[in-house]
Amino acid sequence: MTDTRQIVEAIVAVLATAALSGCAAQVAAEKRSGAAAVGATEQCYGIARAGRNDCRTRAHVCAGWAGRNQDPGAFIYVPAGTCERIVHGALNES
């Protein structure tokens, strides 16, 4: 169980770091290409680590401002189709 958790946390950390650099560009690319495109991503709520969220949320106006781990109002971008497989992951803000 610990190994699985560490793997998920590592994936979340890598994805969060990669997405922080291009949040606005990512949103624009998704709008242009559509969700079915290769390399498409989705916003996954409830899995971001403190200070590692992507983009703005209802609670704050900037990426990296999540105050706690697994904040249900904070999201990170993950590959399309993977969010609901991650523990605490949700496609909609709670």
Q: What is the pLDDT of residue 82?
A: 93
For residue 18, the model assigns a pLDDT of 58
What residue ranges of the chain have pLDDT lower than 70?
A: 1, 14-38, 57, 59-60
pLDDT (tens digit, 9 = 90+) per residue, 5-14? 888 887 877 6
Closest CA to 94 of 76, 65, 74, 64: 74
pTM: 0.54
Q: pLDDT at position 86, please?
A: 92
pLDDT at position 59: 66
Taken as a whole, the chain contains a residue count of 94
Q: Return the residue matching tokens 């969060």.
A: 16
Residue 19: predicted pLDDT: 55
Please report, for the chain, the start and end positions of each structural domain, with discontinuous segments joined by +: 2-85
How much is the pLDDT for 9? 82
Cβ atoms within 10 Å of 47's Cβ, excluding its own? 27
